Structure 1
Amino acid sequence: MTDARRLTGRNALITGSVGGLGQAMARKLASAGANVMLHGLEEPEEAACLTEAIEREFGVRAFYCRADLRQTAAVRELVDRTEEALGPVHILINNAVVRHFARIEDFPIEKWTEALAVNVTAAFLATQMVLPGMRAAHYGRVFNMTSVYGYRGTVNRVDYVTTKTAIQGLTRATALETAGGPITCHALMPGSVLTPLWSDRLERMMIEEGLTRPEAEIRFLDGKQPSGRFVDADSVAEVLLLLCGPAGTDMNGAILPIEGGWLAR
């Protein structure tokens, strides 16, 4: 096995992975030889082209499961279907997220409950389910996707700030319970990555404020990333891939910023 195919024989489950950062991480793992289970809310036929492309390009097995992570039964079904399709989960990436924008006084309780379910409880349940298989396989990597807003607050995003902070606690607790063994758990902390959500926001800024695309990006990132540019999704995926290999063996419980210097302010 070449170093480039270091994950051959490993199986990865990536929640929220049909597009954006989740897809970038899934493709990076597949490029290293890992079989992947993609997840989202899209209908299976919508994701078929993606799984077929991954299989064709990287020579691995790729599947997709539609699951509403607001429901605990759906989380359990997702993990069960992954194990049925691929075998034990060796790499788990808790990436799925929901968010709502409103002041605390106006924040709908149903949106709060939804965020707790998808952003925190689903990650806990998936981790709980895959740990025994990881122990049996003598290898495991759990990654929880947090955010700069897990360290720093912001207005009108109480659900996101709260759940991304909670995910860091889950990461530390998991790391301590797996310490000394073959399993590690980390939280990756990207800054602003150019996902479809933020791309749509930039398009609106361009229309509403008469800005060029570079001007809209500068305005959006002002006061955030000193780099002056969006974090590349592939940069996040490269950090994840590094931690899946030997270099990650002696790291556990880290909260790793990938945010263009945002936290250095």
Structure 2
Amino acid sequence: MNVTLPQPALGTARILDGKVALVTGSTSGIGLGIARAFASAGASVVINGFGKPEEINDSLEGLQRETGAKSIYSAADMTKPDEIARMVNLALETFGRLDILVNNAGIFHVGPVDQVPVEKWDAVLAINLSSAFHTIRLALPAMRHQGGGRIINIASALALVGLPLTSAYAAAKHGIVGLTKVVALETAEQTITCNAICPGNVWTPLAEAHIAEQAKTHGLPREEVIRKVLLAEQPNKRFAMVEEIGAFATFLASDAAASITGAALPIDGGWTAH
């Protein structure tokens, strides 16, 4: 059976004109999709993450060429609080404000809980959870000073349900939802919102590589790997596209979402409806 991977046409008005957004883990995949959506909506953007310098420069030039938005890059390591602080300061020094913070940086590890290397557990928790604490604590004073802001944490369907062999990742993403709720409550009267987006499987270059790896490992056709391995828990049997995540994040960052806060919002094709 063939699986169609749609390319939705998602247009966005310039509803973020004059805003400044910082998106961690945004040199590729979901993060870059969100940064591109914000830029298309009029925001200036700070991108962050690892990658080849020439590819990062291409991404920055592409954002500016396609959208006209100002964009800069921070190489901050999300496991190091001092580098995170320099990244937030870079955004504030360059643009004079910080309106939107998206915590997207993350890594994944698969294995039984009693076989997860301690250093891998520590790394997953540091990048997927602790980095969000550091960016939020550093961004909040600026948001309060300027009279408001938007915090969007990229969680996962695995922030809402469990899945064997994902102990570190699921623990970190469950923690992200808890952090989201507390921050939302603490900022509820300050025109600041904090929400978590909980994607299921999303079509990215890493997903494509994972399909090829699993097909080789299991000796299965590509389409069967997609349906029976990667999308086994996802009822709609298709990947979400980064454009969908970007459009939803843009809405949450807009004035129209002023009353949405403390929510964990799935984009998972029905996964967590089980």
Matched, 1:263 2:272: yes
The whole-number CA distance in structure 1 between the counterparts of 2:182 and 2:218 is 45
The whole-number CA distance in structure 2 between the counterparts of 1:218 and 1:98 is 23
Matched, 1:167 2:176: yes
Q: Which moved more, 1:188-197 or 1:42-51?
A: 42-51
Deviation at 1:117, TM superposition (A): 1.3
Match of 2:163 among 154, 160, 172: 154
RMSD across aligned positions (CA) = 1.6
Identity level (%)? 37
**Partner letter of residue 137 of structure 1?**
Q
**Partner letter of residue 249 of structure 2?**
L
Tell me if structure 1 keeps the 8 A contact 2:125–2:169: no
Deviation at 1:209, TM superposition (A): 4.6
TM-score if structure 2 supplies the norm length? Answer: 0.91
Residue of structure 2 equivalent to 1:117:
126
**Partner letter of residue 142 of structure 1?**
I
Residue of structure 1 equivalent to 2:244:
235
Deviation at 1:208, TM superposition (A): 4.3
The whole-number CA distance in structure 2 between the counterparts of 1:157 and 1:197 is 17
Tell me if structure 2 keeps the 8 A contact 1:24–1:237: yes
Residue of structure 2 equivalent to 1:101:
110
Deviation at 1:42, TM superposition (A): 2.3
Deviation at 1:212, TM superposition (A): 4.1
Residue of structure 1 equivalent to 2:153:
144
The whole-number CA distance in structure 2 between the counterparts of 1:248 and 1:187 is 13
Deviation at 1:260, TM superposition (A): 0.3
Residue of structure 2 equivalent to 1:67:
76
The whole-number CA distance in structure 2 between the counterparts of 1:220 and 1:157 is 15
The whole-number CA distance in structure 1 between the counterparts of 2:142 and 2:238 is 40
Tell me if structure 1 keeps the 8 A contact 2:98–2:142: yes
Deviation at 1:211, TM superposition (A): 4.2
Residue of structure 1 equivalent to 2:56:
47
Tell me if structure 1 keeps the 8 A contact 2:78–2:126: yes
Tell me if structure 2 keeps the 8 A contact 1:12–1:37: yes
TM-score if structure 1 supplies the norm length? Answer: 0.94
Match of 1:57 among 66, 70, 81: 66
* SS of residue matched to 1:102: coil
Residue of structure 1 equivalent to 2:207:
198
Q: Superposition pairs for residues 212-231 of structure 1, below 5 Å? A: 212-231=221-240
Deviation at 1:203, TM superposition (A): 1.1
Q: Which moved more, 1:37-46 or 1:246-255?
A: 37-46
Q: Which moved more, 1:205-214 or 1:188-197?
A: 205-214
The whole-number CA distance in structure 2 between the counterparts of 1:149 and 1:132 is 31
Q: Superposition pairs for residues 169-188 of structure 1, below 5 Å? A: 169-188=178-197
Gaps (5+ residues) in structure 1? none
The whole-number CA distance in structure 2 between the counterparts of 1:111 and 1:18 is 22
Q: Which has the higher contact order (CA 8 A, sep 6+)?
A: 2
Matched, 1:22 2:26: no
Decide whether aligned partners of structure 1 residues 113 and 207 sit closer, same or farther in structure 2, where only a CA change above 3 A counts.
closer
Kindly provide the CA deviation profile for residues 155-190 of structure 1, in whole angstroms up to 9, marking residues without a partner as x.
222110100000001000000011022110000000
Q: How many residues align?
A: 263
Decide whether aligned partners of structure 1 residues 216 and 236 sit closer, same or farther in structure 2, where only a CA change above 3 A counts.
same
Residue of structure 2 equivalent to 1:5:
14
Matched, 1:129 2:138: yes
Gaps (5+ residues) in structure 2? 1-11
